[in-house]
Structure 1
Amino acid sequence: MSYDFGSAKRTYQLKVDSFRGVDFASSPVNVASGRSPNAVNLLSDLAGKPIKRTGYELLGTLAARINGIYRLKTNNYEKLVVHSGTKLYEWQMDAAEMFTLLYDGVADKRSMCLQFANKLWFLDGKKFLVCEEKDGELTISKVEDKAYVPTTIIGANPDGTGGVAFEDGNLLGCRLKNSFYVTAENNTDKVFSLDRVGLDETAVKVQVLKSDGTWNDLSENTDFTLDRAKGTVTMKTAPGASPSIGEDNVVIEFGYVSKSGRERINGCEFGMLYGVDGEANRLFVSGNGECGNYDFWSELDDLMYFPESNYAKLGLESSNIMGYSRIGSNMAVHKEDNGQDVTVFLRRGSLDSEDSPIFPIFDGVSGVGAVSRGGFAVFNAEPIFVANEGVYAVTTQDVTGNKYAELRSYYVNPKLLAEADLRECVGIEYNNFFYLAVGGHVYVADGRQKVYEQNASSSSFQYEWYYFDNVPVRVWFERDGRLYFGSADGKIYRFYQANEHSAANNVYYDDTVPIKAVWDTPYFTFGHLGHLKKLTGFWLMLAPYHRSGVNIYYRAKGDLKAARAANADIFDFNDIDFNRFTFNTDDSPMVVATNLPLRRFMQVQFRFENEKAEAFGFYGFEVQYILQGRYRKI
């Protein structure tokens, strides 16, 4: 006698062990198997596997929002400066009195600082400041008070005729020098006419060259009188002809009423060091709301001298300059998009036929304008910026060499562009990642993972992206390989590094809040869209940590169902928790299996979650299932 029990149903497997980042741009049904339509607080390790990010610790608190954190570093010392509200503080991280007030009266908005010539140069749109170290102490001054005083004319006759234009006036200052050459023909002249009228009330300095080659300082009212309205100086005694043939013998320094030149520089909010052939030896500034499509630049190696002719008008006044970036030896000047103007201009520093520096402007990119002044960075050797349409890079087309703006944030755009105010975003390049913070969230591009479309040019690719929550960044700061940020409530935080983790120093807290990490898979139909399925097995391989765990969920018919909660601890004498004690000493990856039955489903999604203050990561998962007949419901 024989029995026929029928043939066993075929068992199918799905294995996923290659992972990417998030994909917020596609339906969860269409997301690639190694990406996630919803992942929070996970980042890729060196092999591209998802691991929980580290948290951050509170370092200090000030009374007002943090608008900038800066470092002045030389071979001999390092000083930290914090901009909080309307004040600047020195930050001594390990001192009992952590913050020392340096200056009160800056603008309460995000600022910018650049280091040059062992000084910090501070731009906030209110007053251009310089911070320097003297005898171990930091001092902050208004640059206008130290501005270079140019000599605008040399070899002039006493009546102001003749002479040679020598230096431009200084937009930062309100003082000039005129140099006169008195000859035998006019050696009795007492009245000297300056090249400005309307002198201000500051002191006028007059020097006369003596026969021994030294200069004699004259005194107002005793040695000369002034007509400030007319711009004339009348000597009590004629200085006579120059004692040295061909050498000027009268120099007059005076102040004059500026026609807003000084405020043009003081009103600038950002800048970049740039010069001929891309050298970082001049300061270019912009961001003044009164002349938003203008920028200005300093003299060579002198950030206290902005010659009056050193300015450019870029495009229409309806589109403000938003920031600068560097493309090789060129400068890219980014503007807002007004629908009709060029949005990225290129500037090239060179020397003309007379070896004078010139900075001509060329049209670069049209159509994609910057929306945030805080979103600029150089990432993977390409300048990137944030537009209303997402994160873009300025690239060079392979064949023609023309410049284009290429989208780099396709996978996160739906969530990124839904943020309340993209103008407030701030970005930083750190450890080959680009961190873009807005609204308490951080969008992270992985510079090691690029995705190219088939037959696309080498400049057309997307980065893999990750997403963090509960990170209240207002400004970023990097120091000695560590990432810091300041918040809107006056706090300064520093991200932990994974190798700092121990039982006594848990790095998986955001200040005092355990980090919750989530990875949702796409919905899987397993290539059998028209069949009902039965799940017969599921296995998840976890990365080995001394303390870890996972909650596994299924979502098959709309509801999220808990399938398995498991700890994945390794015994460690230095980290014993008797509430979850283990004798396991195997430090190889741990596989967690679930046996929760799941029948007659069309598609299924899995969630891996860890909500405790502990490490978490995974290497892959496997699904086993059988088919249960065709779906026939109409």
Structure 2
Amino acid sequence: MKKEPYGKKRNKNIYVYNRFKGVDYAHTPANISPQRCVDGINMVRSEVGKVTKRTGFEYDSYVWKEKINGIHFLQKDDERVCLIHCGTRFYLNDRVIYSQAADSFSQAVQLKDSLYILDSKSFMVFDGSKISNVKDNPFVPLTCTGRSPGGGGKNWQQPNILTDKRTEGFVSDGESTVYILSQRYISDDNVTVRIENDNGTQTDMTENHGFTVDRLAGTVTFETPPPLSKNTGKDNVYITYSKSTGADRNILDKCRVVTVFGAGGKPDTLFLSGHPDYPGREWFSQRDNPRFFSVGNTDLAGSDNSPVIGYTVKNSSLFVHRKDNERGLNIIVRQCNGGDEKYFSYPVSDSLQGPSAVAADTFVNMANDALFLTEKGIYAITQKDTGQDHYTQLRSLFINRKLLANKALSKAVATAYNDFYVLAVGSEIFLLDTLQKSYEEDKEYSNYQYECYHWKIEPQVRLLFVQDGRLCFATEDGRIGRFYTDYDNPESFNDNGKAIKAVWQTGNFTGDMTHRNKNIFWLWMVCATALRTGVRVQAQIKGVWTDLFSDMTTGRFFQWSAIQWSKFTWSTDKTPKLMKRTVRIRNVDKTAFRLENSEINEPFGLYELGFEYTTGSYYR
């Protein structure tokens, strides 16, 4: 923004709006920065300091007959595999690969080369071609090692809650036929044996074929002694049997919330929570082994009275978000406590006070911030300059008034798209621009705010995701929409064939002398050129919006393939165009301007807005 008086005789002044930022619903039109707009629907940053009309979207031709509950991606080598959860089915390339899912939202995270999925009914794994239940192929732990036929040895891994099976390793003496297990009263499941031979081969045996089992005594009796272990102290006989762990092996199936975390922030461990019967409890896998959840790998996130709603990961800390904690400590902080190679713990190191998160699918890690939606706006977790003590900060000051007025915040969804945090609530989309930070003096507990934008579309958004570089959404009625990315193509500027209304409205202009009349007689804009573009300009004169002019030709350039005779131009200049008009706004104490483009298949980019004015007598 620039103000510059000139001309001694007529006392002319100019006022220029430039370096545009975003919308500001937090301040009144009289108190807003000239770089922001009071009402800015369907506009977005084109480059820092400039704004443009957003592109529209198109629908996929296929309409799903049931609710779309999840769209998940698995990165395998150079291929990004898309998995769609619709109704009770999962689809891969339009083919049903699983049909026993819950008809509810699902979450998924990638660990190694597989996708781990929760739908509140099953804990599943997708390997790129098929889906199976994790408990159907669990890891069988080695609970004892170095055990002699008569007993002893040392405990190694804990039992896995996903299975009753466990393995014990014995060092054969070459003579004993009776091997005593560490447990008695073992289950009726078949017992198996693996013997490692000196020549590198192994012998697999099944119950009653070379050995018998006494389940009450917990002994295995071989028909012939297993061969002597040639490596002193090294296991060469492995006996696998079942005994109840006392845990419900189906307990993880009902979890709803999942993330990956690990030592130093390395994503090597699954964390699960959101169980309806144990809302504050968490379970975590062994490192690099998502099929192994030790019976001891569980903890309460404070108390069971505060359900876990989501996770964020920042540096080497895992932030567990709880809903409506009675003391306002809605986030607890876990850090990895490294033990030996087989056991790590994740104790609570801190708890943070702040507003409660309200939507499970709004936790997004941006480049510099971990953002999430709360009952008081979009917040971030950050650290003090010393690097110690985490705390939460508001980041959505400029859109909070309209964002929090929405009554369906619990259904909000979010994703990261380029440098934007994109959040959808029903038919409204809010964007936080992480490239543009604003340091506001009136927000005591926030170092900075992000510039924001506000879009409106017709459909109700159920899911947000990014695919092939395009921002996409799924609707409540089973359609998938994809926003266009080609800003140079006028055909990108329609919402599935309907015009997009884009508005940029300035705050009030009062000049340096509010109490005197202002007379505005010359107005100009610098706008981006396009094959088809235009603008309608209005001014607020004594409280009434009045049309000043419309310019539907100046910003265009000529191209034979895009001729429109009603708005024809011979200009081949593709550089930003100056649009200027004589206007008559007389004897006002204040005014504001509204720029609008509501034409189908027309972009609109704004670089600058300015006007000349004089100051007159006292306003009456």
Q: What does residue 69 of structure 1 align with?
A: 71
User: Aligned partner of 1:34: which letter?
Assistant: Q
Instruction: Please list the CA deviations of residues 18-63 of structure 1 after superposition, one character each: whole Å capped at 9, or x if unmatched.
Output: 2111110111221111211110010112142110011112224211
For 1:354 and 1:90, locate their aligned partners in 2 and report how far apart those are by CA, in whole Å: 37
Q: What does residue 134 of structure 2 align with?
A: 143
For 1:121 and 1:508, locate their aligned partners in 2 and report how far apart those are by CA, in whole Å: 38
Q: What does residue 550 of structure 1 align with?
A: 535
Residue 413 to residue 189, structure 1, CA distance change in 2 (3 Å): same
User: Aligned partner of 1:624: which letter?
Assistant: E
Q: What does residue 486 of structure 2 align with?
A: 498
1:273-284 matched pairs, under 5 angstroms: 273-284=260-271
Q: What does residue 343 of structure 1 align with?
A: 330
**TM-score normalized with structure 2 length:** 0.88
Q: What does residue 581 of structure 1 align with?
A: 568
Residue 194 to residue 345, structure 1, CA distance change in 2 (3 Å): same
Q: 1:291 aligns with which of 268, 278, 282?
A: 278
Q: What does residue 390 of structure 2 align with?
A: 403
Provide the secondary structure at the position in 1 that maps to 2:575.
coil
Q: What does residue 228 of structure 2 align with?
A: 244
Q: Give yes or no for contact 1:409–1:462 (8 Å, CA) kept in 2.
A: yes
Provide the secondary structure at the position in 1 that maps to 2:309.
strand
Q: Give yes or no for contact 1:396–1:459 (8 Å, CA) kept in 2.
A: no
User: Aligned partner of 1:526: which letter?
Assistant: G
Provide the secondary structure at the position in 1 that maps to 2:299.
strand
Q: What does residue 4 of structure 1 align with?
A: none
The number of aligned residues is 603
1:21-36 matched pairs, under 5 angstroms: 21-36=22-37
Q: What does residue 95 of structure 1 align with?
A: none
User: Aligned partner of 2:511: which letter?
Assistant: F
Provide the secondary structure at the position in 1 that maps to 2:126.
strand
- Is residue 2:354 matched to residue 1:367? yes
1:25-104 matched pairs, under 5 angstroms: 25-59=26-60, 60-75=62-77, 77-91=79-93, 99-104=94-99
Which deviates further from its counterpart, 240-249 or 37-46?
240-249
For 2:432 and 2:511, locate their aligned partners in 1 and report how far apart those are by CA, in whole Å: 30
- Is residue 2:554 matched to residue 1:561? no
The RMSD of aligned alpha carbons is: 3.2
Q: 1:175 aligns with which of 165, 174, 187?
A: 165
Provide the secondary structure at the position in 1 that maps to 2:511.
coil
Could you tell me how far 1:216 is from its partner in structure 2?
5.5
For 2:13 and 2:247, locate their aligned partners in 1 and report how far apart those are by CA, in whole Å: 77
1:306-455 matched pairs, under 5 angstroms: 306-340=293-327, 342-352=329-339, 356-399=343-386, 401-453=388-440
1:248-287 matched pairs, under 5 angstroms: 251-256=238-243, 259-287=246-274
Q: What does residue 3 of structure 1 align with?
A: none
Could you tell me how far 1:574 is from its partner in structure 2?
2.1
Provide the secondary structure at the position in 2 that maps to 1:69.
strand
- Unpaired stretches in structure 2, ≥5 consecutive residues: 1-7
Q: Give yes or no for contact 2:186–2:241 (8 Å, CA) kept in 1.
A: no
Q: What does residue 615 of structure 1 align with?
A: 603
Provide the secondary structure at the position in 2 that maps to 1:513.
coil
Q: 2:109 aligns with which of 76, 89, 114?
A: 114
Residue 618 to residue 183, structure 1, CA distance change in 2 (3 Å): closer
Q: 2:190 aligns with which of 173, 184, 204?
A: 204
Q: What does residue 512 of structure 1 align with?
A: 497
Instruction: Please list the CA deviations of residues 410-431 of structure 1 after superposition, one character each: whole Å capped at 9, or x if unmatched.
Output: 1111111111121222222221
Could you tell me how far 1:217 is from its partner in structure 2?
2.3
User: Aligned partner of 2:486: which letter?
Assistant: A
Q: What does residue 100 of structure 2 align with?
A: 105
Residue 127 to residue 356, structure 1, CA distance change in 2 (3 Å): closer
Q: Give yes or no for contact 1:450–1:464 (8 Å, CA) kept in 2.
A: yes
Provide the secondary structure at the position in 2 that maps to 1:125.
coil
Instruction: Please list the CA deviations of residues 282-306 of structure 1 after superposition, one character each: whole Å capped at 9, or x if unmatched.
Output: 2222222222222222122211111
- Is residue 2:154 matched to residue 1:164? yes
User: Aligned partner of 1:493: which letter?
Assistant: G
For 1:49 and 1:220, locate their aligned partners in 2 and report how far apart those are by CA, in whole Å: 79
User: Aligned partner of 2:164: which letter?
Assistant: C
Q: Give yes or no for contact 1:242–1:248 (8 Å, CA) kept in 2.
A: no
Q: Give yes or no for contact 2:273–2:308 (8 Å, CA) kept in 1.
A: yes
Could you tell me how far 1:163 is from its partner in structure 2?
4.7
Which deviates further from its counterpart, 477-486 or 23-32?
477-486
Q: Give yes or no for contact 1:181–1:242 (8 Å, CA) kept in 2.
A: no
User: Aligned partner of 2:85: which letter?
Assistant: H
User: Aligned partner of 1:428: which letter?
Assistant: T
User: Aligned partner of 1:295: which letter?
Assistant: E
For 2:442 and 2:518, locate their aligned partners in 1 and report how far apart those are by CA, in whole Å: 38
Could you tell me how far 1:311 is from its partner in structure 2?
1.8
Q: Give yes or no for contact 2:177–2:226 (8 Å, CA) kept in 1.
A: no
Could you tell me how far 1:224 is from its partner in structure 2?
4.4
Residue 265 to residue 354, structure 1, CA distance change in 2 (3 Å): closer
For 2:39 and 2:479, locate their aligned partners in 1 and report how far apart those are by CA, in whole Å: 29
- Unpaired stretches in structure 1, ≥5 consecutive residues: 1-6, 92-98
Instruction: Please list the CA deviations of residues 184-213 of structure 1 after superposition, one character each: whole Å capped at 9, or x if unmatched.
Output: 99x5769x667375736xx41233759988
For 2:585 and 2:55, locate their aligned partners in 1 and report how far apart those are by CA, in whole Å: 35
Instruction: Please list the CA deviations of residues 443-474 of structure 1 after superposition, one character each: whole Å capped at 9, or x if unmatched.
Output: 11112211124699997111110111106432
Residue 429 to residue 234, structure 1, CA distance change in 2 (3 Å): closer
